[in-house]
């Protein structure tokens, strides 16, 4: 059984469980824009060519780049595809579509676990530091994470480390109230000091999850690096081995600019995971694969809509299914 066949069997087994079925449905709906453009182009390609030629590869390359998989990733992918076509003596473009799904799946997995779980602290609060430029949906993402963990029965606290941006502290406090979370914040003061005091309160209140907002400035990397170094030091002084996660929030619609943000933040602090927001609003859903290939940081959550329940734990199988549903269903 090839990977494509194994993949189909995994997906259809998953669909027998209600929760997993709902999750797959969310991916299917959230990736609709990308799927409509991407898969329809692939289908046209399969009908246009009767043989796998250089022209076929060139058009495939353009389709993948338009889906925002990224030029470097696409070039490596095409090279791997050509090798496999040669080894397996593949001549039928329609069969090659199954191989394309296999290879895109392999790009993300590359020998690692398919599930990118959050590192939960067994001895006290789990501290999750949120970073990212302004305007990517960082505060809303924090609110959605708070909602998720509250619904799992966790005691959640939000700390406002973005202390100088107008309205940032008030906005986070409002989300804390809406989600029933604890809150700590102060305006126009040293973020590290606020975080230090907030963590003391989190320990006193025996919080399970602490979500820390930070400033979204990237114009002066030296200043941001110093600020994040100070914040990390303060967090580690309060809670050993914390932060347990540093999540970078990226707006999927920014495409390759999101990759540049990931590279910049990776150069100044230890990013453990990516949150891709607004994936439902773009046809460039291939950015998930580009990020993994470019910066080798796992995507841990994706935003598939505006509702509080639309922030989903990333699942590579459901993602690939969401992208290729029509082709996979045709191959049942």
pLDDT at residue 93 in the model: 86
The CATH classification of domain 126-314, taken from the options 3.40.50.1970, 3.40.50.300, 2.40.30.10, 3.40.720.10? 3.40.50.300
Separation of alpha carbons 91 and 201, rounded Å: 65
Distance between CA atoms of 114 and 304, rounded to whole angstroms? 19
DSSP, collapsed to helix, strand or coil, labels residue 130 as strand
Using pLDDT thresholds of 50, 70 and 90, give the confidence band for residue 147.
Answer: very high
Judge contact between 231 and 198, C-beta under 8 A. no
**What residue ranges do the domains of the chain occupy?**
3-114+321-330, 126-314
Whether residue 306 is predicted with pLDDT greater than 50 in this model: the reply is: yes
Residue 292: the pLDDT is 81
The rounded distance, in Å, linking the Cα atoms of 82 and 67 is 20
Complete edge-to-edge strand list for the sheet that includes strand 299-303: 182-185, 156-160, 209-213, 126-131, 245-251, 273-277, 299-303, 311-313
Choice between 195 and 70, residue whose per-residue pLDDT is larger:
195
Asked whether the bond before 203 is cis by omega within 30 degrees of 0, the reply is no
- Degrees (nearest 5) of the Cα angle 114, 117, 119? 145
∠ CA 58-59-61, nearest 5°, is 65
C-alpha pair distances (Å), 156 with each of 169, 182, 193, 300? 17, 6, 20, 19
Residue 115's pLDDT is what?
47
Q: What is the pLDDT of residues 39-65, one digit of tens each?
A: 788 888 888 888 999 999 999 999 888
pLDDT score at 224 = 87
What dihedral do alpha carbons 191, 135, 290, 112 form, nearest 10°? 40
**8: its two tokens:** 């189909």
The set of residues, in sequence order, having a beta carbon less than 8 Å from that of 255 and lying 6+ positions away, is 68, 282, 284, 287
Given this model, what pLDDT does residue 1 score? 42
**pLDDT classification of 18: cutoffs 50, 70, 90:** low
Per-residue model confidence as pLDDT tens digits over 175-200: 999 999 999 999 999 999 999 999 99
Check whether domain 3-114+321-330 has CATH 1.10.3720.10, yes or no: no
Copy the structure tokens of residue 217.
């400035």
Please report, for the chain, how many H helices and E strands are present, in that order: 13, 8
List pLDDT tens digits, range 87-118.
999 988 888 888 888 888 887 776 554 446 89
Given this chain, do its domains 3-114+321-330 and 126-314 carry the same CATH topology? no
pTM to 2 decimals?
0.90
In Å, how far are 103, 182, 225, 240, 316 from 162, measured between CA atoms? 41, 17, 15, 23, 32
> Looking at the predicted structure, is the pLDDT value of residue 32 above 60?
yes
What pLDDT does 9 receive? 57
Q: Is the pLDDT of residue 261 over 60?
A: yes
């Amino acid at each position: 059984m090839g990977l494509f066949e194994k993949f189909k069997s995994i997906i259809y087994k998953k669909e027998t469980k209600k929760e997993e079925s709902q999750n797959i449905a969310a991916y299917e709906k959230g990736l609709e824009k990308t799927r409509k453009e991407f898969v329809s182009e692939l289908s046209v390609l399969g009908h246009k060519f009767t043989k796998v030629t250089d022209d076929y590869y060139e058009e495939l390359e353009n389709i993948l780049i338009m889906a925002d998989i990224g030029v470097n990733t696409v070039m490596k992918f095409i090279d791997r595809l050509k090798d496999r076509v040669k080894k397996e003596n593949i001549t039928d473009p329609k069969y090659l579509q199954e191989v394309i799904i296999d290879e895109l799946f392999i790009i993300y997995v590359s020998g690692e676990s398919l599930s990118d779980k959050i590192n939960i602290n067994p001895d006290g609060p789990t501290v999750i530091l949120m970073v990212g430029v302004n305007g990517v949906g960082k505060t809303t993402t924090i609110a959605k994470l708070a909602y998720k963990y509250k619904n799992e029965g966790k005691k959640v606290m939000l700390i406002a480390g973005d202390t100088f941006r107008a309205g940032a502290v008030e906005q986070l406090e409002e989300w804390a109230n809406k989600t029933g979370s604890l809150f700590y914040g102060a305006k126009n003061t040293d973020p590290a000091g606020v975080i230090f005091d907030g963590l003391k309160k989190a320990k006193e209140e025996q919080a399970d999850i602490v979500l820390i907002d930070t400033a979204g400035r990237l114009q002066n990397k030296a200043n941001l690096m110093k600020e994040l170094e100070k914040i990390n030091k303060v967090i580690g002084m309060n809670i050993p081995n914390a932060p347990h996660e540093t999540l970078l929030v990226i707006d999927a619609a920014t495409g390759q600019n999101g990759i540049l943000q990931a590279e910049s933040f990776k150069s100044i602090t230890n990013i453990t995971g990516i949150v891709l927001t607004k994936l439902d609003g773009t046809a460039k859903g291939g950015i998930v694969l580009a990020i993994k290939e470019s910066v080798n940081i796992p995507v841990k959550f994706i935003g598939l809509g505006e509702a509080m329940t639309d922030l989903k734990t990333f699942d590579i199988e459901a993602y690939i299914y969401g992208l290729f549903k029509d082709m996979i269903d045709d191959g049942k």
